[in-house]
């Protein structure tokens, strides 16, 4: 008998770190995690971890021979800055890796006779504003607007959204015996900020980095201009959004890809918030023109009306609560001398 389980890929990453704990709090007993890296010891206790490569087809085949996977949280990806340094590798991991899992989910759906739920974190990087004037003119973009990404990561995310929709709705559309297919659902996240992990390889990283450096008592030079504006969200809200979207009945959904957001602010305002809680923080702005170009192409805000209407999305942590109740207390504790 195969054991029924939830699969999380990229489980050692920032979202995975929080998601494992939330799923385990919800009483999910069989969490199977996959990542190239080991899990931190606290999370390793909560799941069955497979240290391996998503691109390893034999490994995936072994995985489904042992587990009946009902839900997949496919978090593994190379983020936007990192992907620009090795775009083809990013394509391999971000697109081919996703394709492997969509195939797996599709086969599992047929085998089970009911759809496997496939949750996919997409991103503001799926958007591409052509210039700052347009960015100012469209401060809260809708899901279907400005889908012209300028990064490999953004292209990968946008295309994988489409692949997910294809596998859910059109896969083998001409077959007489059209099989049961998977149920793909995606969230376009803003920049995420975790108190427990430090981001690596993203372009929204200047926000969380300001905070983590300030808590460590180290000076930080942000790689963007002070007027740079993008949306952000505290990690607990990102996990809540994923779990909420996973729980909603399919009939309530009017789309498969939803914007979700919490607060938008400029890098200067972000710095002021950090300074308010860490008065000793030394924050300067030293724009890196290339990374700046990427953040400038991302929208200043997301319109998440559809998520609010269809499945009651609402962030718990606005800017004030994110800092005062989640980020500052937990980050301060993290860097306290033992």
The catalytic site residues sit at 153
Report the nearest approach of ligand SER to the CB of residue 79 (Å): 4
| β-strand pairing of 31-35 with 48-51 | parallel
Where does this chain touch ligand SER (CB under 6 A) — which range of 196-204, 250-258, 281-289, 325-333? 196-204
Q: Which CB, 63 or 229, lies closer to ligand SER?
A: 229
Report the nearest approach of ligand SER to the CB of residue 176 (Å): 41
The binder of ligand SER chosen from 34, 79, 141, 238 (CB under 6 A): 79
| β-strand pairing of 220-222 with 183-189 | unpaired
Is residue 197 a contact point for ligand SER (CB under 6 A)?
no
Is residue 80 a contact point for ligand SER (CB under 6 A)?
yes
Q: Give the single-character DSSP code of 37.
A: S
**H helices, E strands: number in the chain:** 15, 12
Pairwise CA distance, residues 204 & 207, whole Å? 6
Is residue 259 a contact point for ligand SER (CB under 6 A)?
no
Per CB under 6 A, contacts with ligand SER among 108-147 are 123-125
Report the nearest approach of ligand SER to the CB of residue 189 (Å): 6
| Residue 233 φ/ψ, nearest 5 degrees | -155, 145
Task: Label residue 43 exposed, middle or buried (CB < 10 Å: 0-12, 13-18, 19+).
Answer: buried
Where does this chain touch ligand SER (CB under 6 A) — which range of 27-35, 51-59, 202-210, 253-261? 202-210
Q: Which CB, 171 or 313, lies closer to ligand SER?
A: 313
Point out which residues pair with 335 in neighbouring strands: none
Q: Provide the 3-class DSSP secondary structure of residue 234.
A: strand
Q: Give the single-character DSSP code of 36.
A: S
Q: Which residues bind ligand SER (CB under 6 A)?
A: 79-80, 123-125, 153, 191, 202-204
């Amino acid at each position: 008998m195969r054991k029924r389980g939830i699969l999380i890929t990229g489980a050692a990453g920032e979202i995975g770190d929080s998601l494992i704990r939330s799923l385990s709090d919800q009483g999910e007993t069989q969490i199977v995690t996959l990542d190239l890296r080991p899990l931190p010891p606290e999370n390793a206790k909560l799941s069955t971890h497979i240290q391996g490569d998503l691109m390893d087809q034999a490994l995936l085949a072994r995985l489904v021979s042992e587990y009946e996977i009902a839900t997949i949280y496919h978090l593994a990806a190379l983020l936007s800055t990192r992907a620009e340094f090795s775009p083809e590798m990013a394509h391999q991991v971000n697109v081919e890796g996703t394709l492997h899992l969509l195939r797996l989910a599709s086969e599992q759906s047929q085998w089970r006779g009911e759809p496997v739920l496939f949750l996919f974190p997409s991103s503001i990087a799926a958007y591409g504003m052509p210039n700052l004037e347009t960015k100012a003119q469209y401060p809260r973009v809708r899901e279907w607007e400005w889908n012209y990404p300028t990064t490999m990561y953004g292209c990968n995310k946008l295309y994988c959204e489409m692949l997910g929709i294809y596998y859910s709705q059109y896969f083998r559309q001409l077959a007489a015996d059209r099989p049961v297919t998977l149920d793909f659902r995606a969230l376009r996240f803003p920049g995420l900020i975790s108190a427990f992990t430090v981001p690596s390889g993203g372009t929204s990283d200047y926000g969380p980095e300001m905070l983590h450096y300030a808590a460590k008592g180290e000076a930080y030079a942000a790689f963007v201009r002070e007027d740079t504006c993008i949306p952000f969200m505290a990690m607990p809200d990102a996990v809540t959004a994923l779990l909420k979207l996973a729980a909603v009945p399919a009939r309530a959904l009017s789309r498969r890809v939803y914007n979700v957001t919490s607060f938008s602010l400029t890098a200067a305002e972000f710095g002021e918030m950090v300074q308010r809680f860490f008065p000793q923080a030394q924050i300067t702005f030293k724009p890196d023109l290339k990374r700046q170009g990427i953040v400038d192409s991302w929208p200043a805000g997301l319109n998440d009306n559809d998520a609010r209407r269809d499945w009651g999305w609402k962030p718990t942590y606005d800017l004030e609560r994110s800092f005062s109740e989640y980020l500052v207390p937990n980050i301060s504790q993290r860097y306290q001398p033992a």
